[in-house]
Structure 1
């Protein structure tokens, strides 16, 4: 076993570039593991800088100075963010509060429907089993509710952190965009000279991350807006809140669409029951999801490296468990990074194999 591991190690890490890439990955993982929460404003600023770099570059090509172009782009981005925060957020919050106030009525109606199942289907459903199932569900909901309240009180401490985000993040984004080349030069000086594989992986991942961030933001806006407008036209209650949830659900491929279907169906059932309106709405919702998966995603992510759905789900679970929201957001790029690193290391082993065969 030791000999096999030794041969694998020599084959993969005999190239100094491969060892350098491995060391860089190890250091990056350790930094994120130990100081990830502390560096989160920097990570958020990097994500936003990636998103806003495209309009700054286009303005620079048109002859607009880098400083002026950065100032205009950041000002427009901050204005749009404030509009969403002060305009849409209160409406979404109000609908969320109203939905929570009606939750007991929805829960009572659900209980009534479940308790009627033994009467309708006595050969398939046992009344005692329904009672036990209902009691178990109640116990879990009470437990989750207590945990949610505890987390809510704990999150009040993070209000000061949010204020820091609102001040520091725009400043960092501005300087990252304005002094992009200077910062990249400084980072290049910190890296070792044996960095052929680092450049190879970096070039591949740079295009992937830029494409992914832009595409994902556009997908969230389109899917969320289309869902909210469709629900509003069909007179579904909480249309804006549900539209926001559906928009955010695209962050988690496959799983998000399945999970967000539950609140949409519950609200529609509570409002209309099993009627034609309910089926019309669910059909419209299914069409939106189908257009997103079969038309919008291929258009937005045409340049992305294709990954098998199983790998995507594993990446979402793994990186989401490690880094929460940002782990979920970057699950696909991180999975692509793992694939790119694996490809680069495989290429390093090919020359040594060719020499041994000769």
Structure 2
């Protein structure tokens, strides 16, 4: 005989908050281990259709099908990196021109500040020297952090493909494990949750890739119009970095400005680059993101921004990238559990046209 216990609202709320805080705490202290696993899970979900196709249509053994998926994914990444490396080597050959034009550009800035703010060039250089001294004092710590970051990146590049391979290989094993955790009468709900998670993650990642492609094309076109030499490379870099919320486009803009110094130090070119980036971002934020990203995961902007900020604080760039998919997964789970359904509604982007209070019940009119 199964006994059901009905808890008051404040007890349910306390249990939910304690659970979320516990998960967040575990993620923070184990982010170096959990983050690669979550990234591998996302990549595995994206590769599942290819894995299934090779395994069922071509009768590949599971090991060979999983290895083929990883190899194909790696070849795509290596191809993009090879193209970027080839183009970067061309930019490096123009280092002398960049240095010359950068000095000329800095001189123009000094003159502009002197003429408009009445600060002598000597005072400006003195201030820069003081800032440089402070930076040099922290140089060792910065170099040490950079070395650790590069080491972590290389480790992740090694371990993530292995995790992805294992997720694909043991896909059915993990599903059976989840089925054993719950009652048989709830298997239909579990199947629906897994199907929705798979569809949501696939749509999100494919939408993100399409957004990257469109941003790259638009940025390349804009840079070509204003006469930037390496417009294809810089457009591709902008599209890739745009996948990093908030800071990605800023880094891409700095790289583009530096690369533009291979040709000319004119301020008009720098202004043109800023205008191109602003226009592309307006198109991205007002058209591409609502149409491609938000429509796929159905997470409202308020929850998305908070999730990205929390993810960035917890695990840096990887946490920011993982925030939206994890929120989408939580929303799908919440919507299919009766006691958590209000939280799923809170995370969604459904907006009623009018909210009407009634004495005995709440009525929402669409």
**TM-score clears 0.5:** yes
**2:175 aligned residue:** 184
Higher relative contact order (CA 8 A, sep 6+): 1
2:32 corresponds to 1:37: yes
2:50 corresponds to 1:55: yes
* Contact 1:228 1:242 (8 Å CA) reproduced: yes
Deviation, structure 1 residue 250: 1.9
* Counterpart Cα distance in 2 of 1:174 and 1:80: 16
Structure 1 residues 126 and 79, CA, compared in 2 at 3 Å: closer, same or farther? closer
* Counterpart Cα distance in 1 of 2:55 and 2:151: 42
**1:77 aligned residue:** 73
* Counterpart Cα distance in 2 of 1:157 and 1:258: 24
Alignment of 1:120-135 (within 5 A): 120-121=115-116, 124-127=117-120, 130=124, 134-135=128-129
**2:143 aligned residue:** 149
5+ residue gaps, structure 1: 1-5, 14-18, 350-355
How many aligned residue pairs are there? 331
* Counterpart Cα distance in 2 of 1:99 and 1:328: 34
Alignment of 1:1-358 (within 5 A): 8-12=9-13, 25=20, 28-57=23-52, 63-65=57-59, 67=62, 70=66, 72-85=68-81, 87-91=82-86, 93-94=88-89, 97=92, 105=100, 108-121=103-116, 124-127=117-120, 130=124, 134-135=128-129, 137-139=131-133, 142=136, 146-155=140-149, 157-158=151-152, 161=155, 165-166=157-158, 169-190=160-181, 205-224=197-216, 227-228=219-220, 231=223, 236-239=228-231, 242-268=234-260, 271-274=263-266, 283-301=275-293, 302-308=295-301, 311-336=303-328, 347=341
Q: Deviations over 1:84-104 (max 9, x none)?
A: 34x225325535756877775
- SS of 1:303's equivalent in the other structure is helix
- Which shows bigger deviation, 101-110 or 145-154? 101-110
Structure 1 residues 76 and 318, CA, compared in 2 at 3 Å: closer, same or farther? same
- SS of 1:181's equivalent in the other structure is helix
Deviation, structure 1 residue 229: 6.7
Deviation, structure 1 residue 264: 2.6
TM-score (norm: length of structure 2):
0.67
5+ residue gaps, structure 2: 1-6, 344-359, 362-366
* Counterpart Cα distance in 1 of 2:78 and 2:113: 53
* Counterpart Cα distance in 1 of 2:88 and 2:136: 23
Q: Deviations over 1:293-327 (max 9, x none)?
A: 3443344322221422x543433232112112220
* Contact 2:101 2:265 (8 Å CA) reproduced: no
TM-score (norm: length of structure 1):
0.68
Q: Cα RMSD (Å) of the superposition?
A: 4.5
**1:353 aligned residue:** none
* Counterpart Cα distance in 1 of 2:88 and 2:145: 18
